[in-house]
Structure 1
């Protein structure tokens, strides 16, 4: 135990009260980021309708944020291993708020997408740095209990965000306040963090940030996502455009891997990624990321466009999924702290996730709401049981000096899964809606182009007869994209099943190999 005590003196000496005080600021930061994002999820149909945007632009308002968050997350994590975690959290909040304010003043869908991309830089910092700070304060064995608080705040933000967004859009304030409203909360978060978060800064002289690797990853992923958004609509699957974009994307990603194997401080540390449990956790995180973002983005659109509910009503109808996240993350966190085991809960969560998506794949524009609620609840339970615990499984395998890189790596791939998921599912939805609207108009004897140049998302500008056709198209097409999600989530189940069981260590920093091996054989429940 002497090794443990010496390695954990610095952060491990924090009392429960000190941890809770610091955690209050961190959770408020997370609430600001998540609430600002989920507010938009319910309001987005009306926002894009007001800006006369297309389904592709609807998807890219979300994708742009996720893409820049994904690209910046590893850089934030690496910086956290080199500089003040507290200062970096504060900087990321400021960037996020500035992006939100600029988004609120957008006059076109294109401007909104650009503002959301800038906002994503701050979101990537918040997502990575909150996890990093918590990992620097609390040993993995005890972190399950505190992850319950984390899951509760995430659920509150995810539940309250859509409701607040719906109320704002339906009120006299207008949709722009969906972006402005986060500013005062962020100021409070900055003040709280300034007083409560105190982590030791370990400075290094040989600081080298892998900006080239991050840039190549962002460029490669962006190229492939742009291709997914426009293939089969602007050009064919087999065309010179497809060949050029796919080829360029793959070359950029191959160059990124090559760079990561040669730089001194890789943005995605391959020695961490190559570990079995880490690699499998990454694969599972891709599936969970698709669930978390895809569910929030397209369910709000389903209720509003496909079913005709108001933004406020759409927010209320998503409560079953958020309640599932809240309950499952809280209960699971305490059970993990008591048992010291992760794998059974992650595996169960991914299985439940598949069941939830399979249920949502049966949706059409007339599905009973009680059925939709049960399926959403299952998705929420699956996300709550697996999302934070996948991060914890990776943090448990690395030393304190690498906790920033490890945490940001898993957050990076989760965001990447969400980015790819939203983009791919959005492209599939756009195509199926277009096909069904065209066939619906033909069946009704209405000539194509009768929308008068208005976006199909701006239902108020369409004739009543066409509104019914558009609603049915969106309602029926949504089930298809969740069938794809269910198939991808099966990969998460396989990855979770292949993970090696490992006991959570009781120290903040990694213990010597011999002690870790001993703890894996006999969990020290008395610690």
Structure 2
């Protein structure tokens, strides 16, 4: 593609040739890959990790949730900083934090230590998640962005669904071991640092950096309390209990304070004015549901294949290939078609419809479900996610002033991560409760005390259980997995309804600001970072 010159160029955006974009994009894609990988590579390895570190279902869920929580809470902070300071410096800082967290996580000696290190990993991943999309929007005009968003979506597909496969292979390779699930992303992160240093040349918009730290703190606190409640309710205490009331009220009070601070801040972390934009509001609703599907499917499918079907970690990863391929193909093809036509809404509608159907069908999941049927269901989910994930961001970026690309893009990523974190926490709590009930019911029919299952709140190794008890445990996890996918289906339906009401605006041909009548003149642009 020849170098395109925009008729009018908004400050802070840059025109690049196709080759220059691909060179810089390679570093961004590596960074995005390690960000997604940090959340998913442990999925198939978790049963082995938690068993060796002597943890239970709660620790299983929190190893995933802690990283998602940190990613979610810091995404809007990184996005806002991208509107104020050098994007290149920020993405490199994110990579350094990620590497530090990964190395420490790989050396963890207990579940508590591992969870703490996962928080550090999540902070770095939050920066990579937000900044990759912001930098891409800075380099590429909206109309051309569809093609490159397809590449980003494909990388997200490999990281999201392929991560469990990579983790499974690592765990099953005797000379590596589960600790390499955390080390494996380090070489990619270092490579991304080197590539970005050499290829990424962005203008730095000179703006007074009035960072809203109070808003950032309150948003982080509100999200943290909410996720802790969702994770613990149903296990440590009842959903309808005094503890639940206190935590929910605490989250609401913190959220109200955050809104108050954000409405008065000169540079709010999440500008309230963004939510006057109908497209952003509806995209946020849809993003929450997509987050539930993207993370929930990958996290709990690995547990289903290993415990309910007795597969190895490697085999569990291979069995998710229908989802990987569906996501990969649909993301790439939809991106190319959008670039050619400038139309994106049809893919959002079709994608969320397929996601709803996939979740509903997965609700029939049992330990003995035909793998042929299961492959079809997983493919539907993968195709739906591929059409939806990046196109929601694209729709939002097409409607905002380039000065607010960072904040607007991070809002979508924030709520997608929030949906993922809430989804993993809530679905994990539901799974633990359902498995406990199904196991107790199955054992009572055999006249065996529930404690004989060998789980006692920890994840069982089905290969060591006596035949009759093993069948009960496998059936319990299979039925429980079906229940959590069925619980996710209404969220996908809400996403479908939301995208139907999004007004389609054809993608702009250049990176100039939309005509709003109240856009202020942007300060001068300094030399490239």
Cα distance in 1, alignment partners of residues 173 and 457 from structure 2: 23
SS at match of 1:449: helix
Residue aligning to 2:71: 69
Residue aligning to 1:404: 406
Residue aligning to 1:437: 439
TM-score by length of 2: 0.93
Deviations 1:59-81 (A, max 9, x none): 11111111111110011011111
> Compared with structure 1, are the counterparts of its residues 103 and 7 closer, same or farther at alpha carbon in structure 2 (3 Å cutoff)?
same
Cα distance in 2, alignment partners of residues 286 and 44 from structure 1: 25
Please report how far the alpha carbon of residue 462 of structure 1 lies from its aligned counterpart in structure 2 after TM superposition. Answer: 5.0
Deviations 1:250-292 (A, max 9, x none): 1111211121111111111111122101100110111111110
The total of aligned residue pairs comes to 512
Residue aligning to 2:348: 346
Please report how far the alpha carbon of residue 12 of structure 1 lies from its aligned counterpart in structure 2 after TM superposition. Answer: 4.4
> Compared with structure 1, are the counterparts of its residues 455 and 431 closer, same or farther at alpha carbon in structure 2 (3 Å cutoff)?
closer
- Counterparts of 1:45-84 in structure 2, within 5 Å, are 45-84=47-86
Cα distance in 2, alignment partners of residues 246 and 34 from structure 1: 29
Residue aligning to 1:238: 240
Residue aligning to 1:28: 30
Contact 2:454 2:460 in 1 (8 A): no
Please report how far the alpha carbon of residue 231 of structure 1 lies from its aligned counterpart in structure 2 after TM superposition. Answer: 2.6
- The answer to whether residue 478 in structure 2 is matched with residue 504 in structure 1 is no
Cα distance in 1, alignment partners of residues 108 and 470 from structure 2: 27
Please report how far the alpha carbon of residue 209 of structure 1 lies from its aligned counterpart in structure 2 after TM superposition. Answer: 1.6
Residue aligning to 1:521: none
SS at match of 2:434: helix
> Compared with structure 1, are the counterparts of its residues 248 and 274 closer, same or farther at alpha carbon in structure 2 (3 Å cutoff)?
same
Contact 1:324 1:384 in 2 (8 A): yes
Cα distance in 2, alignment partners of residues 227 and 36 from structure 1: 23
Contact 2:352 2:496 in 1 (8 A): yes
Cα distance in 2, alignment partners of residues 240 and 33 from structure 1: 37
Contact 2:39 2:67 in 1 (8 A): no
Please report how far the alpha carbon of residue 455 of structure 1 lies from its aligned counterpart in structure 2 after TM superposition. Answer: 5.0
- The answer to whether residue 361 in structure 2 is matched with residue 337 in structure 1 is no
- Counterparts of 1:287-366 in structure 2, within 5 Å, are 287-366=289-368
Contact 1:52 1:455 in 2 (8 A): no
Cα distance in 1, alignment partners of residues 123 and 269 from structure 2: 15
Please report how far the alpha carbon of residue 33 of structure 1 lies from its aligned counterpart in structure 2 after TM superposition. Answer: 2.1
Please report how far the alpha carbon of residue 460 of structure 1 lies from its aligned counterpart in structure 2 after TM superposition. Answer: 6.0
Deviation >4 Å, runs of 4+:
8-12, 451-455
Contact 2:82 2:90 in 1 (8 A): yes
TM-score by length of 1: 0.93
After TM superposition, the structure 1 stretch with the greater mean CA deviation from structure 2, 372-381 or 57-66, is 57-66
Residue aligning to 2:202: 199
Residue aligning to 1:184: 187
Please report how far the alpha carbon of residue 13 of structure 1 lies from its aligned counterpart in structure 2 after TM superposition. Answer: 2.8
Query: For 2:474, which of 471, 476, 480 is the aligned residue?
Result: 471
Cα distance in 1, alignment partners of residues 185 and 200 from structure 2: 21
Please report how far the alpha carbon of residue 238 of structure 1 lies from its aligned counterpart in structure 2 after TM superposition. Answer: 3.4
SS at match of 2:138: helix
Residue aligning to 1:384: 386
Contact 2:351 2:384 in 1 (8 A): yes
Deviations 1:132-167 (A, max 9, x none): 110000001110011121122222333542222111
Cα distance in 2, alignment partners of residues 115 and 434 from structure 1: 29
Residue aligning to 1:522: none
Residue aligning to 1:147: 149
Contact 2:310 2:462 in 1 (8 A): no
SS at match of 1:297: helix
Contact 2:160 2:294 in 1 (8 A): no
Residue aligning to 1:486: 489
Cα distance in 1, alignment partners of residues 77 and 472 from structure 2: 46
Deviations 1:28-84 (A, max 9, x none): 111222234322122112111221211122111111111111110011011111111
Cα distance in 1, alignment partners of residues 338 and 18 from structure 2: 18
Contact 1:49 1:455 in 2 (8 A): no
Gaps (5+ residues) in structure 1? 515-527
Cα distance in 2, alignment partners of residues 175 and 439 from structure 1: 34
Residue aligning to 1:272: 274
SS at match of 2:7: helix
Contact 2:351 2:383 in 1 (8 A): yes
After TM superposition, the structure 1 stretch with the greater mean CA deviation from structure 2, 54-63 or 32-41, is 32-41
* CA root-mean-square deviation: 1.9
- The answer to whether residue 277 in structure 2 is matched with residue 250 in structure 1 is no
Please report how far the alpha carbon of residue 386 of structure 1 lies from its aligned counterpart in structure 2 after TM superposition. Answer: 0.8
Please report how far the alpha carbon of residue 410 of structure 1 lies from its aligned counterpart in structure 2 after TM superposition. Answer: 0.9
Query: For 2:116, which of 114, 117, 134 is the aligned residue?
Result: 114
Residue aligning to 1:525: none
Contact 2:12 2:204 in 1 (8 A): no
Please report how far the alpha carbon of residue 14 of structure 1 lies from its aligned counterpart in structure 2 after TM superposition. Answer: 1.1
Query: For 2:137, which of 135, 138, 143 is the aligned residue?
Result: 135
Please report how far the alpha carbon of residue 454 of structure 1 lies from its aligned counterpart in structure 2 after TM superposition. Answer: 5.8
Please report how far the alpha carbon of residue 461 of structure 1 lies from its aligned counterpart in structure 2 after TM superposition. Answer: 8.6
Deviations 1:211-257 (A, max 9, x none): 22222222222222222233333333333222212211211112111
Contact 1:454 1:461 in 2 (8 A): no
Query: For 2:95, which of 75, 93, 96 is the aligned residue?
Result: 93
